[in-house]
Structure 1
Amino acid sequence: MKEINVTIIGSGSTYTPELMDGFLKRKDSLTLKRVTFMDIDERKRTIVGNLCTRILRNDGCDCEIVHTDSLKEAITGADFVLTQFRVGKLPARYLDENIPIKYNLIGQETTGIGGFFKALRTIPVMQEIASAIEAYSPNAWLINFTNPSGIITEYLANYTRVKQVGLCNVPISMYDDIYESVGKDVKIMYLGLNHLSWVTSVKRGSTELIHNLIANGLTTKVMANIHDDKIPMECLADIKALPSSYLQYYYNKNAKLNQQKIEKKCRAQVCMEIEEKLLELYQDKNLVTKPALLDKRGGHKYSYVAVSLIDAIANDKKEVHVVNCKNNNALSFMSQDDVVEIEAIVDADGIHPIPIENFDNPHIITLMQVIKQYEKLTVKAALTGDESLARNALLLHPLVGDFYAVSECFEEMKCAHSSYLTQFYPH
């Protein structure tokens, strides 16, 4: 049984109780020696942290518990650092979702121009965290859930020296949907980038099932935070794959934009309401478990993904997990240092992506290559404050593209988020 010190950066997130629940479910293989709750929002850190403390103590966990807003204190001595923060919190998400609509662009927090600005705000903060890990706990693992997870991991993997991996709850949800439909005796092939991914094969023995599954109407469930506009089955037959929920923004672009124009509340507003209800619930001193309302927040199963990965590293399990990591020749059509979302063997030595040979789907290959170039330019723009690089990134993205819309929307969003974009406002 491995003893570990865990630090949660962004511990005021209402997801954190689910994370505690995940650790307690793995207590036979992981012992929490110390848990550090770090957040700069004192109110949320206190409310959520107190509930998490009650959850741990109610289950008999007597680990050391630290509450802090100091990055140095949080990082020092950590074995695993989990990042799940949101720069600008939900009001910034509201801007990401609503400003683009004025320019006939989809507003979404992880893709398109909304996701782009979330990355610009987040990478400088992640720079500080990575520097702190390098200085105070160079052997610690950074487990990133902060969105846009793929872009953030692209930065961490190629611009820092920290041991890191990016995670998302989309893959496990897709796997579970397929297992529910056809049973667990199948081999699934999953690949892509974060929030741009597909299941391209479902095999039972040597028999390929995916074409018949698509023909018979199989789709994976849409994530709770995405309005379901129903990707046509003809589209799935054409691309020869089952796409993740976030591909709705690409394949149903017009329907998505029209829906956003007429909806009374954007997702950010819904999340604000759920968050306040959760924070109110969390203050009940009799509450010692995660409430059911938490499942409506959109991060369902993330604790399982995070804790099982930590377990695999800490206990050298050599398990297969879907992660965001450097390609390292796993996909021949992507560069070695491109961060991709694929299956990898996880053990004490790290993350080892499993090669996918002879992959031949021009649609998926091309879309992955285009979005990867967008991601790389986004990272450079976030690090340099180069507005030309920023616009070039947005011109590549299929959900943006139009130069005048890019220029005007970019200026408004840059101004709206100016307090978090010091790279663009050096003075």
Structure 2
Amino acid sequence: MKLAVVGGGSTYTPELIDGFARLRDALHLEELVLIDPAADRLELVGGLARRIFAKQGHPGKVSWTSDLDAGVDGAAAVLLQLRVGGQAARNKDETWPLECGCVGQETTGAGGLAKALRTVPIVLDIAERVRRRNPDAWIVDFTNPVGIVTRALLTEGHQAVGLCNVAIGFQRKFARLLDVAPDQIYLDHVGLNHLTWERGVRIGGPTGDDVLPKLLAEHGEAIAADLHMPRDLVDRLGVVPSYYLRYFYEHDAVVRELKSKPSRAAEVAAIEQELLDMYADPALDEKPELLSKRGGAFYSEAAVSLTSSLLGDTGDVQVVNAFNNGTLPFLPDDAVIEVPAAVGANGAKPLPVAPLEPLYAGLTAHVTAYEHLALDAALLGAGAGAAAGRRAVFNALLAHPLVGQIEYADQLTDALIAHNREHLAWA
């Protein structure tokens, strides 16, 4: 079996490689190709990948290339982990929205929209080239904003599933707190990508005992601290929101916090440079501890599980991003939601979920409307013209609950276009 990783020059990649090596019995990988336009980074990451495989006794071949078509040729699955514009673009996404008093973040709000506009056309071009060479290949999307990017892929008829590490992160955290094996934890995880709530934590499966009240009673302080949210809020909700709900529940406080320190992009850029220096060491044959500060914890386990389920037709349950198709009846069928799903050769089929409480359903519907408008804006081609492009961006921003005011939407629209003009076909 051959797999390809587009964005293989990422400093994330050794986390993925380590997972492939450790979990080789779950995924019988014969060839892994790393694809990236940055040849210098590929050389460093690819060399470390080979050494990790060798140290752990994985018999698979690791290669790398900047030729996308050659790299994906014959691949059974293609993993996407792109960052169009790199950390420099991310740094802008995290800073210019703050000038309007709005959250600067790479996956939501105005910064998240900018990332979507840069990313969707590139991902769709890659997916079409994969389809021409391998009509049956699966695309596993880890590229943010995952919900919008996955909806773009599915709408265009690609065999795709979106993946995020939030759910597996909670699973591992709760398993550690409860002193049980991670595969014994079943999450009632529901919402949209980066807009989810853990409404239940069950032992042994979907019908097992719900231990969430026990977790909150005994470990609420630690859980709230990890979320950077007040313990009182988590207790009052009675659920565990994802970290990204901070941007909605404590917007103004987060803006003040972000204005008071360097951007996360600046921090990550420094970590990345240090990692690349470490990767250049020919004696390094394992992922360094510093990588845990880069983000993406447990991504490798989630990616291996999802890929093996798709290619092995296992039908097991995993939290993924897929078409709604009636799962949440207040959303359109073509909304992309993040819930437990049965995964097999026909893709991911969301399992039934209990009705979503109004406190969460309202925000979910609101952000879904924004995501649909964001995709409309991302799909505009050169023929649309500058006026239509600006209008589409403005509409998406006005619809976003983190913006929502005409004055802010106008200012942010102009700033977004100014900072991303080279990536906008219609600008």
Q: Structure 2 length normalisation: TM-score?
A: 0.91
Name 1:151's counterpart in structure 2.
148
1:362 lines up with 2:358 in the alignment: yes
- 1:52 corresponding residue in structure 2: 49
CA distance in 1 between counterparts of 2:223 and 2:121 reads 34
**Aligned residue in 2 for 1:258:** 256
CA distance in 2, matches of 1:219, 1:156: 39
Where in structure 1 are there 5+ consecutive unaligned residues?
none
Which of 64, 73, 94 does residue 76 from structure 1 map onto?
A: 73
SS in 2 for 1:269: helix
Equivalent pair of 1:54/1:288 in contact (CA under 8 Å): yes
Match of 2:414 among 406, 411, 416: 411
Q: CA deviation at 1:394?
A: 0.8
Q: 1:278 is matched with which residue?
A: 275
- What is the distance in 1 between the residues matched to 2:310 and 2:397? 36
Find the partner of 1:171 among 163, 167, 171.
Answer: 167
1:271 and 1:287 map into 2 onto residues whose CA distance is 21
Determine if contact 2:196/2:338 at 8 Å carries over to the other structure.
Answer: yes
Q: Is 1:421 paired with 2:424? A: yes
Distance 1:187 1:140 in 2: 29
Q: 1:78 to 1:179 in 2, by over 3 A?
A: same
Assess if the C-alpha contact under 8 Å between 2:220 and 2:234 holds in 1: no
Structure-2 change in CA distance of 1:417 and 1:220 (3 Å): farther
* C-alpha spacing 1:23/1:228, structure 2 compared with 1 (3 Å): closer
Question: Structure 1 residues 417 and 186, CA, compared in 2 at 3 Å: closer, same or farther?
Answer: closer
RMSD, matched Cα: 2.1
Separation in 2 of the partners of 1:215 and 1:311?
Answer: 37
Q: Please name the residue that 1:310 is paired with.
A: 307
1:111 corresponding residue in structure 2:
108
Structure 2, unpaired ranges of 5+: 382-388
- Comparing 402-411 with 84-93, which one deviates more in the overlay? 402-411
Match of 1:131 in 2: 128
2:377 corresponds, among 378, 381, 397, to 381
Which residue of the partner structure matches residue 188 of structure 1? 187
Aligned pairs, number: 414
Q: CA deviation at 1:237?
A: 4.3
Q: Contact 2:323 / 2:337 at 8 angstroms: preserved in 1?
A: yes
Q: What is the letter of the counterpart of residue 32 of structure 1?
A: L
**Residue number in structure 2 paired with 1:31:** 28
- Give me the whole-angstrom Cα distance separating, in 1, the residues matched to 2:34 and 2:214: 48
Residues 119-165 of structure 1: CA deviation (Å, up to 9, x unaligned)? 0000010111111122111100000111111111111111x222110
- Which position in structure 1 is the counterpart of 2:9? 12
Paired letter, 2:220: L
Distance (whole Å) between structure 2 residues aligned to residue 349 and residue 17 of structure 1: 29
Quick one: which amino acid aligns to residue 235 of structure 1? Answer: L
Report the secondary structure of 1:30's partner residue. Answer: coil
For 1:398, which of 382, 396, 401 is the aligned residue? 401
* Partner in structure 2 of residue 343 of structure 1: 340
Rounded to whole Å, the distance in 1 between the matches of 2:301 and 2:357 is: 31
Q: What is the rounded CA distance, in whole Å, between the counterparts of 1:418 and 1:34 in structure 2? A: 38
Give the letter for the 1:11 counterpart: G
- Offset of 1:62 from its aligned partner? 4.0
SS of residue matched to 2:321: strand
Identity of counterpart residues, as a percentage? 36
Q: 1:41, CA displacement in angstroms?
A: 1.1
1:105 to partner: Cα distance:
1.0
Partner of 2:97: 100
- Structure 2 vs 1, CA of residues 140 and 221 (structure 1 numbering), >3 Å: closer, same or farther? farther
CA contact (8 A) 1:33 1:63 kept: yes
Question: Whole-Å Cα distance in 2 between the matches of residues 118 and 372 of structure 1?
Answer: 17
Q: Distance in 2 between matches of 1:297 and 1:242?
A: 23
User: 1:57: Cα distance to partner?
Assistant: 2.8
Query: For the residues of structure 2 that align with 1:201 and 1:44, how far apart are their CA atoms?
Result: 42
Which letter maps to 1:162?
A: H
